[in-house]
Amino acid sequence: MTDRPIAATIAVVLREGRILLVRRANPPDAGRWGFPGGKIESGETIEQAAIRELYEETAIRGEAVEVFTAVDAFDHDEHGGLRRHFILVAVLCRWCSGEAVAGDDALEAEWFDLEALGTARLALSLNVGEVALQAAAISQTG
């Protein structure tokens, strides 16, 4: 286990009423759907990290609009012990170009209707639905 939480970012991209998600290949939440994202590198801003991770995981180019929330993500071992604690800083991003293609540590990349996030069909990472709705509310008022 690491001594301190790890700073990471997630890119929340809405396009024509749909939200971009990736199915994660690695812990935490391997196999579950969540936002493209990853660790913030030294000297990199939160927004730069979100845009970089967005491109690495989906081949989509985006523009950071607003940092809007943060959530905890816990990576537990098979016995329930804490391996790592991530703090995920959510960045609302505007789609600029590209089509969703899974890359880096994503198994799949896909656009989903916001309404689909509430169905049992999707195995979502914790807080994905709530963060998506927050992003949608911000983009409607902005």
Count: domains in the chain: 1
Given a cut of 80, whether residue 2 has pLDDT beyond it is no
The set of catalytic residues is 108
Question: Quick check: is 88 in a domain?
Answer: yes
Give the residue with greater pLDDT, 86 vs 105.
Answer: 86
CA 118 centroid distance within chain: 17
pLDDT in tens, 111-126: 999 888 877 678 899 8
The CATH number of whichever domain residue 137 belongs to comes to 3.90.79.10
Output the pLDDT for position 36.
Answer: 96
Q: Domain range holding 29?
A: 6-141
* pLDDT digits 0-9 by tens, 56-69: 999 999 999 999 99
Confidence at residue 1, expressed as pLDDT on a 0 to 100 scale: 55
The whole model's pTM is what? 0.93
118 within domain boundaries: yes
Contacts (Cβ under 8 Å, ≥6 apart) of 125: 24, 28, 29, 32, 33, 34, 73
pLDDT at 38 over 90: yes
SS3 content of the chain, % helix, strand, coil (to 5): 25, 45, 35
The rounded percent of the chain whose pLDDT value lies above 70 is 97
Per-residue pLDDT, 35:
96
